[in-house]
Structure 1
């Protein structure tokens, strides 16, 4: 059996815990990054004109919101943190601790559960100007600290 890597582990965790959401993993082996991309959908019943982050307006019946979290090698990766909900470093070839990866998937589920409700509220309330997801480092650390089980390193995939 092949050695378990961050990609394989994340894919298993996301498949098991995130069946209610559309989530994808984008591995950029040249930049040494793993991007976890997630989508939220909501019906735009009033067909409000909604501008996205780049200023493009849409009155579509269904609004699609996309965001992502980036896992990166602080030594080798070139990133712009403003492009992501959060950027989390990993330890080169050693990867990340299992507790951090399990905690991340659990926290993404929490973010999306809350975000789905916030998106629906955003579309139902005329006075709300902006919708965005929020990543709270302290909450993530709390979830990681609550992990029970062996906490070995899950290595970054080799290519």
Structure 2
């Protein structure tokens, strides 16, 4: 990395690099010093299987969507554990210092696989071939940690700073 990108730009670039048919949105709350990476998947309901969406509405035909999010928070300002149940995953950063590039690189490598598998699992769920009663994405911490451990030392040492806007 020749020019130092900030967290907002770095996460945005990593999002752009993902291959995903759904929607990815990045929201920045400047006052709270948090970013939310929203993930939305869409599939067509075949009409032969009834699905109840996240709001409790029954869908027999048409588009079914599933949403979840990842939280990036300033651990010098808030306790991320308070929000753990509301997010697929949470990642704390160290104030203006930001977070290690390796953390972000590993996350987006893992996220591509999670999105691929999740989209496939959602199709199976909606068409009735899944054995599950509910659908949700599950963040596998040990798989992510294994990818993080494979990141180069230079990425571990390089922090991506919080934006100065």
TM over 0.5: yes
Q: TM-score, normalised by structure 1?
A: 0.88
Give yes or no for contact 1:32–1:77 (8 Å, CA) kept in 2.
no
- Which ranges of 4 or more aligned residues in structure 1 deviate by more than 6 Å? none
**141, 149, 159: which is aligned to 1:153?**
159
Tell me what 1:25 maps to.
26
In structure 2, distance between residues paired with 1:154 and 1:6? 6
Give yes or no for contact 1:47–1:61 (8 Å, CA) kept in 2.
no
Q: TM-score, normalised by structure 2?
A: 0.85
**85, 110, 114: which is aligned to 2:113?**
110
- SS in structure 1 of the partner of residue 110 of structure 2: helix
In structure 1, distance between residues paired with 2:74 and 2:51? 35
Q: Alpha-carbon deviation of 1:26?
A: 0.7
Number of residue equivalences: 159
2:87 matches 1:81: no
5 Å-filtered alignment, 1:3-152, equals 3-18=4-19, 20-46=21-47, 48-77=49-78, 80-125=83-128, 128-148=132-152, 150-151=154-155, 152=158
Give yes or no for contact 2:5–2:161 (8 Å, CA) kept in 1.
yes
Q: What value does the CA root-mean-square deviation take over the aligned residues?
A: 2.2
Q: Alpha-carbon deviation of 1:2?
A: 7.6
Question: Gapped runs of 5+ residues in structure 1?
Answer: none
Give yes or no for contact 1:70–1:86 (8 Å, CA) kept in 2.
yes
Note closer, same or farther for the CA distance 1:145–1:57 as it changes in structure 2 (3 Å cut).
same
Higher strand share: 2
Q: What are the superposed Cα offsets for residues 58-101 of structure 1, whole Å, 9 maximum, x if unpaired?
A: 33411111111001112313652221111111111111101101
